[in-house]
Amino acid sequence: MNPLFKKIKNLQSAACVSIILNTHRTHPENEQDPINLKNLVKNAEERLYKDYDKRFVWPIMEKLNGLLETIDHRENLESLLLFVNEEVAEYTRLAIAVEDRVVLDDNFATRDLIRAEHEQEAYYTLVLSKNEARLIEAMNDKPVAEIKGLFPYKNETLYNTEKVRRHTGDSDDDLTREFFNRIDKEIHSVIKNHPLPVMIIADERNYTHFMEIADRKEMYMGYLNKNRGDENAKPHHIIEDVWEKVHEINRDRNAKRVEGLGQAVGSGKFLSDYNEIWKAIGEGRGQTLFVKKGFFQPGKISENSITLTDESQRNEKGVYGDIVDEMIELNVSFGGDIVFLDGDQLEAFQNIALVTRY
């Protein structure tokens, strides 16, 4: 789970400002980003002064403007999200496209943080050889960042003692497994605060040895049988190599989930009415919530009942800009899962459906 999502998902207070916008990775396109952001901040300021006393708004705007000064737009990805209220001032970058908007509610609009982990394929790639291991965080076919510090992890100590160990009967395979065991432990320490599945690029022999020693085999999603050889390869070339395989694995996984949706329709463990879904999720009965990609629905919640509203009412006080976002957050808080689907697979179900646990 995204660390920022964990920090803000349960925060409740007046005037939680979420500013969400598409950005650009490259120059000169990213010169537009600070201009677009300032326009959205102006929109947020006008709405705050409209709905709240100016003495309440001043410190929030001070936090928001202070946050703007910390953002280096040369580092932008596909989108930028800002979250500010009386206590919090945070921003994050995502490698997914979003809908530009300002959300002013009693909690933060976290849907895109969840989308980044569920709708898109977020993962790490471990580039593995007997000499070195590199770890790269990626989103779809693009690298987000190469992990530095403990990585790249080089096989220096083990090879320095290799001749001695061979004289005592240790094999090259034993040395390799020992090196791989250290890598496995370092991966755990690096990604524990932001866990994502790990894809491995390695030749078949090294992959086999690595999986023999891995403590938590389930976090490794698969491997691409390839020895890159070039330890100086650029991250975007590495991710280009592995992306098709990652997409294939996740496509197969989601296909099985859609099969489960079809089975649930005939078993009584299926809901598509908004109020029935909301009630089931609140009771902890939500297993998998299916949502059409790019679908947003404004609405109100009163006495635990949902009333859908027109798009034109989204920015009115008391209206949630996206009622689906509230459902997603609540289902995740109860340990439920989210699947975002392309196409018209959910058209018959108002673009949203819930498979219940019972």
- Are 113 and 140 found together in one domain? no
Among 118, 148, 173, give the residue marking a domain's end.
118
- Are 152 and 231 found together in one domain? yes
- Are 36 and 79 found together in one domain? yes
Answer yes or no: is 99 within a domain. Answer: yes
pLDDT in the model for residue 229: 56
pLDDT in the model for residue 100: 95
- Are 97 and 128 found together in one domain? no
pLDDT in the model for residue 230: 63
Among 200, 221, 255, give the residue marking a domain's end.
255
pLDDT in the model for residue 2: 67
Look up the domain containing 351 and give its range.
268-356
pLDDT in the model for residue 255: 78
pLDDT tens sequence across 289-308? 999 887 888 899 988 899 99
pLDDT in the model for residue 321: 77
Answer yes or no: is 262 within a domain. Answer: no
pLDDT tens sequence across 204-221? 999 999 999 999 898 999
CATH (domain of 155): 3.30.420.60
Answer yes or no: is 263 within a domain. Answer: no
- Are 215 and 133 found together in one domain? yes
pLDDT in the model for residue 265: 81
- Are 182 and 114 found together in one domain? no
- Are 112 and 94 found together in one domain? yes
> What mean pLDDT, rounded, does the chain reach?
87
Angle between helices 111-118 and 323-333 (to 10 degrees): 60
- Are 154 and 139 found together in one domain? yes
Answer yes or no: is 261 within a domain. Answer: no
Answer yes or no: is 155 within a domain. Answer: yes
Among 118, 146, 172, give the residue marking a domain's end.
118
- Are 159 and 111 found together in one domain? no
pTM > 0.85: no
Is the distance from CB of 78 to CB of 97 less than 8 angstroms?
Answer: yes
- Are 106 and 133 found together in one domain? no
Q: Which residues of the chain have pLDDT under 70?
A: 1-2, 117-120, 157-172, 228-231
Answer yes or no: is 8 within a domain. Answer: yes
Answer yes or no: is 260 within a domain. Answer: no
